[in-house]
Amino acid sequence: MAVLSWKHHTLIQSLLERGPLTEKEFHLIFTGITGQNPGTHQGKFNDYLLKINRELSYVQLDLRACRDPYDGRVYFGVVNNVSDDQSKLGTKYSVPQIAFFKAIVETIAQDVTAEGTICNLDALNIKLENQVLNSSGSQSQDVPAAFKNFTMSHKEKTLDQLVKDKWLCYTEDDNIGLGVRSILDLRSWFHNVGVPSCQVCNEAGFKAKLCPNDGCVVRIHHYCLKKRFSQKGVLVCPSCETQWQYQPPKAEPIEVENEETEPVQSQPSSNPSPSQPSLRSKRKRQRLNDAETAGCSSQESGANRKRVTRSSAHPR
């Protein structure tokens, strides 16, 4: 059993206190603690992470990294490897809020176009009744009162809280995508529910570029495509050999950050400024108005709804 120094504990605490950090932020903390740059001391950095994970495994935690498919950046975070009744008690979210979040994740994961987003109004019109299952696993007719009383206002507040906590993210086109916490925590879930993987990195391809051939099931993340095109110039599908055309993604997540979260030290970040909620409220009203003007469909909402389908849907 490895013995961790205060430096290891500071790295762990920074992730627990501040949530997932970008690779740049985490590297800056590591440099501030050890005096060594991970870019030039990769072996030292990996050794720290290995020792930390050996200790965290005793409490069913894991320090892992992921690449955000929305902006291509690498993030580090600590995740819980166990989903039991005890671990569920640690959440600050209510049962209807968790059901609402689950419905959003399922809708994004099941989208055959792999856009990785859901329209804001479609999310707000999700019916929580579809998330109530009976003992046999089918939809139950006995809907809890808490679900019936979960209003549109509750959903709006829940969305903003989920974005703040990095479970979801707002994209530049005002749609809703999965946050970096979800990408870190739900890695096994994506695999278990059959979300197709990226052909290059083998991570979940819920937001990815589809093969131009409608009969092909290959998906590749935008950043994986960019890397491949920069190396080869021309890329053909590894399965059907159809030539790929690369176009950078338009939608990237909007991060709600404080001005104080510039180059970080080991201390946790400051609380958001009091003016932030009013700015978010103004932006939210504008987002809803724009969505209504654009005619965002809200009639096909629900966890099992697919917003847009290809001319020939890919088989699972």
305-to-154, 182, 299 alpha-carbon distances in Å:
22, 20, 10
Domain with CATH 3.90.1150.220 in the chain: 6-80
Residue 15, pLDDT score: 95
| % of residues, the chain, pLDDT over 70 | 71
Residue 311, pLDDT score: 41
CATH code for the structural domain at 6-80: 3.90.1150.220
Domain with CATH 1.10.10.10 in the chain: 85-135+148-207
Confidence of residue 145 (pLDDT cuts 50, 70, 90): confident
Alpha carbon distance 73, 57 (integer Å):
26
| 174 backbone dihedrals φ, ψ, rounded to 5° | 65, 25
Q: Which fold has domain 85-135+148-207?
A: Arc Repressor Mutant, subunit A (1.10.10)
Predicted TM-score of the model (pTM): 0.74
Residue 87, pLDDT score: 61
Residue 233, pLDDT score: 63
Residue 24, pLDDT score: 96
| % of residues, the chain, pLDDT over 90 | 52
Q: Among 28-42, 156-170, 260-274, 287-301, where is mean pLDDT lowest?
A: 260-274
Number of C-alpha atoms within 13 angstroms, CB side, residue 259?
3
Alpha carbon distance 92, 36 (integer Å):
37
Q: 3-class DSSP state for residue 70?
A: coil
Q: What is the mean pLDDT of the chain?
A: 79
Alpha carbon distance 53, 74 (integer Å):
18
159-179: average pLDDT:
93
For the chain, the distance separating the N- and C-terminal CA atoms, rounded to the nearest angstrom, is 43
Cite the beta strand spans of the chain per DSSP E: 21-22, 61-67, 74-80, 117-118, 168-171, 176-178, 209-210, 219-220, 235-236, 243-244, 253-254
